[in-house]
Amino acid sequence: MFMTTSADASPAPRPADPPQRSTSPVLDVVVPVYNEETDLAPCVRRLHAYLSDALPYPFRITVADNASTDSTLAIAQALAEELPEVEVRHLDQKGRGRALNAAWSASDAQVLAYMDVDLSTDLAALFPLVAPLISGHSDLAIGSRLARGARVVRGPKREFISRCYNLILRGALAARFTDAQCGFKAIRADVARELLPLVEDTGWFFDTELLVLAQRSGLRIHEVPVDWVDDPNSSVDIVATATADLKGVARMIRGFARGTLPISQIRAQLGRHPIAVTEPGVPPKLARQLVRFAAIGVGSTLAYLVLYLLLRTGVGAQAANLIALLVTAVANTAANRRFTFGVRGSKGAGRHQFEGLIVFGLGLALTSGSLALLHAGAEPGRFAELVVLVLANLVATVLRFLLFRNWVFRKNR
C-alpha cells in the first residue's frame, strides 16, 4: 500500500516504502472519493476484475481520498492490502479536482485515467478510451453522453442542465468537445505534466478547464460514446456546482482575454502541427477555409443588400451599388484575412487591403455590368435588380475566394 498526505502539520511516522515494481504501469485509473464507504469496495473490486481480464497492460488503481470523514479511507487501505494493484492517496482537503491533480502528478504511469466511484459509465468503454492514448494517436480522451451512439439513462433535469452547460461552453469558450462533465476521462502523462500546473480549479470545473486548455493548445481530444446510467443517490449539489462552473468559465474568458495563459508555448511544445500536403491539387485546410469564407460571404452579402436598399432611396442604382460594395468589401477583406486565412498582426495589412480593392473592382465590374444589361431594356423593378445582383455576387464570390487564396493571402509569395 502506498499512501501520502497533503497535511503540513507535525510529521507522522513515515510508512515503509512500497516494493519496487519491475515495470511501471501503463495505465493508472484514479477513483476520487469523498465519504464513499458504501460504494468504494464494490467499485474497486469490479474495476480490478475488469482490468485484470480485459487490459493487456500492467495497471494500477489509485483511490484518491480527499478528506473523507467516514470509513472511506480505512476501506481503501484494506483494499490496497487485499489487491496488489490498488494504492491509496489521502489528502486533508476536499475537492475532486485537487485529488485528481495530486494523483496524476505523482503517477509514473504512461496513461492516466479517472472514473467516478458510482461506475455510472459502462466499463466496456474503458479500453476504447485509453487505446488511442497508449498508441499515441490522441492526447486526451473523454467519455461522452452527448456524442452520437451514446446510450444514456437519466432524468430530464440533469439532461437539460448538461446540455445547457455544454451550449454555454461552445458559445463562451468555443469548445468543440461534446461532454465536459462525464466522469470518465484519460490523458497521456507527458501532456498532463504540461497542462496540470495551469489548471486552477480544485473542484468540479477541473475537467472543463483541462479540456479547454488542451483544445486551445492544439491537442487532439478523442471522444468515446458511452453507455451511462444515472446514479439516483448522487450527492452532487447541482446548484452549487453550476454556479462554480459559471465562475470558472468567466475566469477562463478573462485569462484568455488578458493573455495570462501560456497557450502559445504549450501549443508550440505539444500541439499537433498542420498536416503537410505534398500531393499536387490537394491544398491544405481547403474545407475549413471554404466554410469560413462562405459564412463571412453570407454576412457580407446581407450587409450589402441592406446598404443597397437604404442607399437606393436617395441615389441611382449604380451609385448605390458602388458605395454598398465598397463598404462591405473592406470589411470582407479584413474578416477573411483574420478568420479564413489566419493572417494576424498589422504586417502586410495595407497591401492586403489594396489587393482586396482590386478584387473588389472585379466584383464591381461584374455587378455593374449585370445592372447595365438589365437596364438596357425596359425599366426593371427592385425585385429584378436584387435577383440579378445576387446572381452576379455569387459569381463574384467564387472569383474572390480564388483570388484571395491564390494571390492576396497566399503564403510564401
Q: What is the pLDDT of residues 367-413, one digit of tens each?
A: 788 878 877 767 777 778 778 878 887 888 788 888 888 888 876 55
DSSP state of 121: B
User: 278 in a domain, yes or no?
Assistant: no
Using the 3D structure, point to which of 212, 246, 270 is the last residue of a domain: 270
Is residue 320 predicted with pLDDT exceeding 70?
A: yes
- pLDDT of 1: 44
The domain in which residue 106 lies consists of: 27-270
CATH code where residue 135 lies: 3.90.550.10
**Per DSSP, what are the bridge partners of residue 111?**
27, 188
* Domain shared by 342 and 231, yes or no: no
C-alpha angle 245-247-249 in degrees, rounded to nearest 5: 70
Burial class (CB in 10 A: 0-12, 13-18, 19+), 314: exposed
User: 32 in a domain, yes or no?
Assistant: yes
* Domain shared by 165 and 298, yes or no: no
Using the 3D structure, point to which of 270, 295, 325 is the last residue of a domain: 270
User: 21 in a domain, yes or no?
Assistant: no
Percent of the chain residues topping a pLDDT of 70: 89
Domain count, the chain: 2
DSSP state of 314: T
- pLDDT of 232: 67
- pLDDT of 276: 57
* Domain shared by 323 and 174, yes or no: no
d(CA 105, CA 300): 49
User: 254 in a domain, yes or no?
Assistant: yes
Average pLDDT value for residue range 134-154: 93
The x, y and z cell numbers of residue 259, run together, are: 493573455
- pLDDT of 236: 64
Alpha helices for 55-149 (secondary structure H): 72-82, 96-106, 126-135
* Domain shared by 259 and 309, yes or no: no
* Domain shared by 311 and 251, yes or no: no
- State the average pLDDT for the chain: 85
User: 95 in a domain, yes or no?
Assistant: yes
User: 279 in a domain, yes or no?
Assistant: no
pTM: 0.64
The answer to whether the Cα torsion of 239, 243, 244, 248 is positive or negative is positive
d(CA 91, CA 6): 5
Instruction: Tell me the pLDDT band of 18, cut-offs 50, 70 and 90.
Output: very low
- pLDDT of 184: 96
Active site amino acids: 207
* Domain shared by 191 and 329, yes or no: no
- CB 72, CB 34: distance < 8 Å: yes
CA-based nearest residue to 124, from 230, 46, 31, 41: 46
User: 13 in a domain, yes or no?
Assistant: no
Percent of the chain residues topping a pLDDT of 90: 44
Instruction: Tell me the pLDDT band of 361, cut-offs 50, 70 and 90.
Output: confident
- pLDDT of 411: 65
DSSP state of 412: T
| Residue 33: its H or E element | strand 27-33
Least confident of 110-119, 196-205, 340-349, 350-359: 340-349
Residue that the C-alpha cell 446510467 belongs to: 229
